[in-house]
């Protein structure tokens, strides 16, 4: 793989509008071991003792139960583990203050990182547990499957914590905390063109996430797309994919896949001597400590990845990161921050709604994140406005991941960060704001 000098276009430079600081020479959140288990989190989690909630409305209700469909196992379990950590910290912040005099409880079910598993998890939460709001899911295909099969055309509010596929924009009632992958695709296209590459080979995971990122990239890229094909998830070998990318003659390779699949691909490329064939690039989901741990030393040096980023210099993010590091010995990732903000946004919707029903929550959940309200960066400050008679539109919650500002399509604003692998570690080399 080529080890080029970093040449960033203006769009990839840290900007004052983003309110961020560059972290060149520092490792990104994913370079630390942010894994671990999520034991004890497959059921209800209220951050403390709970009592039975009353039925009907919210008068006198002591516990407000919502659901979360998360990747506790399967290909995306690394993301799910991070989500659970962010969720716990947020839940503690909420229940320390309270929600309408009660507390928030999150019932969590495992999607197994598959569409079928996600639908089963959501059906259990919505049909059996009767939650009016569902946080879920990680994978874009899983989120869309849940929406189509369970929440669409109902009053149940769905907020994806991690899904980035541009295809989610087609479903306005499917909200999300992480920025649309269209921004990521455009940033990748600008980065590859800016690095002087006239042709690219793309291999993408065969689901809504991979297809959405790849299609948006092709629209944005000015050069030749010499290879553009999907690959299936969970295969033991991708040798044919690597060989086809090499045979394409492209001078840039783009991988839009998950960490287990990319680890297999990179190892097979190394074994075949293909790591010097082209400059490598990746979408957010190929980045992680396990990828580097599984790769031969130095084999990925020079690779560039565009990934969502939290607002790293905001005070609320710093406080969140400090708590996270104290507990887990590593920095949080953007995915942990999105999960945190999904919980806070949920709690604010519960506090702001006239009653604890899906229909009432749906009316206010966007409003508490919009810029028309008073800017607040903590649940406690937002709760104070609402508890003192403020309306949902009086609150503009800006999260630890940055401004949310959910639009008519359910898409938030957000930041992206560019990483380059150097000396077998991820280094931040720029930012882009959506």
The confidence score (pLDDT) of residue 56 equals 38
Q: What is the mean pLDDT of residues 333-359?
A: 97
Q: In sequence order, which residues have a C-beta less than 8 Å from that of residue 231 and are 6 or more positions away?
A: 203, 204, 205, 206, 238, 241, 257, 261
Q: For the segment 14-63, what is each residue's pLDDT rounded down to a tens digit?
A: 333 333 322 222 323 333 333 333 333 333 443 333 333 433 345 568 99
Q: Which of 39-48, 248-257, 296-305, 379-388 has the lowest mean pLDDT?
A: 39-48
Q: What is the mean pLDDT of residues 314-330?
A: 97
In Å, what is the CA distance from 192 to each residue of 187, 212, 366?
Answer: 9, 18, 35
Distance separating alpha carbons of residues 39 and 67, to the nearest angstrom: 17
Q: What is the mean pLDDT of residues 144-158?
A: 98
The confidence score (pLDDT) of residue 304 equals 98
Q: What is the mean pLDDT of residues 242-258?
A: 97
For β-strands 44-45 and 395-399, DSSP reports them as: unpaired
Q: In sequence order, which residues have a C-beta less than 8 Å from that of residue 186 and are 6 or more positions away?
A: 216, 220
Q: What is the mean pLDDT of residues 231-253?
A: 97
Q: For the segment 54-90, what is each residue's pLDDT rounded down to a tens digit?
A: 333 455 689 999 999 999 999 999 999 999 999 999 9
Q: In sequence order, which residues have a C-beta less than 8 Å from that of residue 13 and are 6 or more positions away?
A: 430, 431
The confidence score (pLDDT) of residue 27 equals 28
Chain centroid, CA 413 distance in Å: 13
User: At 208, is the pLDDT very low, low, confident or very high (cuts 50, 70, 90)?
Assistant: confident
Q: What is the mean pLDDT of residues 404-428?
A: 93
The confidence score (pLDDT) of residue 354 equals 97
**Got the DSSP string for 42-73?**
SSEE-SS---PPPSSSSTT--EEEEEEEE-SS
Whether 356 and 132 have beta carbons less than 8 Å apart is answered as yes
The confidence score (pLDDT) of residue 47 equals 37
- pLDDT of residue 206 exceeding 60: yes
The confidence score (pLDDT) of residue 59 equals 55
Name the token pair of 321: 């990161």
Decide: residue 142, CB within 10 A, 0-12 exposed, 13-18 middle, 19+ buried. Answer: buried
Q: What is the mean pLDDT of residues 112-121?
A: 98
Radius of gyration of the chain (CA): 21
| Average pLDDT for the chain | 87
The confidence score (pLDDT) of residue 434 equals 64
Angle between helices 334-352 and 315-328 (to 10 degrees): 120
The confidence score (pLDDT) of residue 58 equals 53
The confidence score (pLDDT) of residue 50 equals 34
The confidence score (pLDDT) of residue 142 equals 97
Which domains does the chain possess?
10-31+181-309+415-433 (3.40.50.2300), 44-178+313-364+367-403 (3.40.50.2300)
Q: What is the mean pLDDT of residues 349-374?
A: 97
User: At 1, is the pLDDT very low, low, confident or very high (cuts 50, 70, 90)?
Assistant: low
Name the token pair of 422: 């150097």
The confidence score (pLDDT) of residue 7 equals 31
Q: Look at the pTM and tell me if it is higher than 0.85.
A: no
Q: For the segment 102-116, what is each residue's pLDDT rounded down to a tens digit?
A: 999 999 999 999 999
């Amino acid at each position: 793989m080529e080890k080029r000098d970093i040449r960033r276009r203006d769009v990839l430079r840290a900007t004052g509008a983003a309110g961020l600081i560059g972290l060149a020479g520092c490792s990104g959140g994913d370079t630390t071991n942010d894994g671990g288990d999520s034991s004890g989190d497959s059921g209800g989690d209220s951050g403390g003792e709970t009592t039975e909630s009353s039925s009907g409305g919210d008068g006198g209700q002591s516990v407000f139960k919502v659901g979360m469909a998360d990747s506790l196992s399967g290909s995306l379990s690394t993301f799910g583990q991070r989500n659970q950590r962010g969720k716990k910290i947020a839940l503690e912040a909420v229940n320390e203050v309270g929600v309408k005099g009660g507390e928030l409880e999150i019932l969590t079910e495992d999607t197994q990182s598959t569409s079928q598993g996600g639908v089963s998890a959501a059906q259990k939460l919505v049909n059996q547990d009767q939650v009016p709001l569902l946080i879920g899911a990680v994978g874009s295909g899983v989120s869309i499957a849940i929406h189509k099969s369970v929440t669409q055309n109902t009053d149940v509010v769905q907020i994806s914590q991690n899904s980035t596929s541009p295809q989610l924009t087609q479903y306005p009632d499917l909200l999300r905390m992480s920025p649309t992958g269209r921004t990521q695709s455009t940033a990748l296209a600008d980065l590859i063109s800016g690095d002087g590459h006239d042709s690219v080979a793309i291999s993408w995971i065969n689901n809504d996430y991979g297809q959405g990122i790849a299609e948006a990239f092709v629209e944005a890229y000015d050069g030749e797309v010499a290879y553009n094909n999907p690959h299936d998830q969970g295969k033991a070998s991708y040798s044919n994919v690597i060989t086809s990318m090499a045979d394409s003659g492209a001078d840039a390779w783009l991988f839009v896949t998950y960490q287990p699949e990319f680890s297999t691909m990179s190892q097979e490329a190394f074994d075949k001597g293909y790591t010097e064939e082209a400059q490598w690039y990746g979408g957010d989901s190929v980045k992680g400590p396990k990828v580097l741990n599984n790769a031969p030393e130095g084999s990925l040096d020079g690779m560039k990845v565009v990934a969502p980023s939290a607002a790293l210099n905001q005070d609320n993010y710093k406080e969140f990161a400090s708590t996270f590091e104290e507990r887990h010995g590593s920095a949080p990732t953007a995915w942990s921050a999105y999960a945190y903000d999904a919980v806070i946004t949920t709690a604010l919707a519960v506090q702001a709604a006239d009653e604890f029903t899906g229909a009432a929550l749906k009316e206010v959940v966007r409003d508490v994140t919009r810029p028309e309200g008073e800017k607040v960066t903590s649940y406690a400050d937002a709760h104070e406005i609402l508890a003192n008679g403020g309306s949902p539109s009086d609150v503009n919650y800006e999260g630890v991941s940055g401004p949310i500002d959910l639009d008519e399509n359910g898409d938030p604003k957000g930041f992206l960060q560019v990483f380059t692998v150097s000396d077998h570690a991820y280094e931040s080399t720029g930012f882009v704001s959506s």
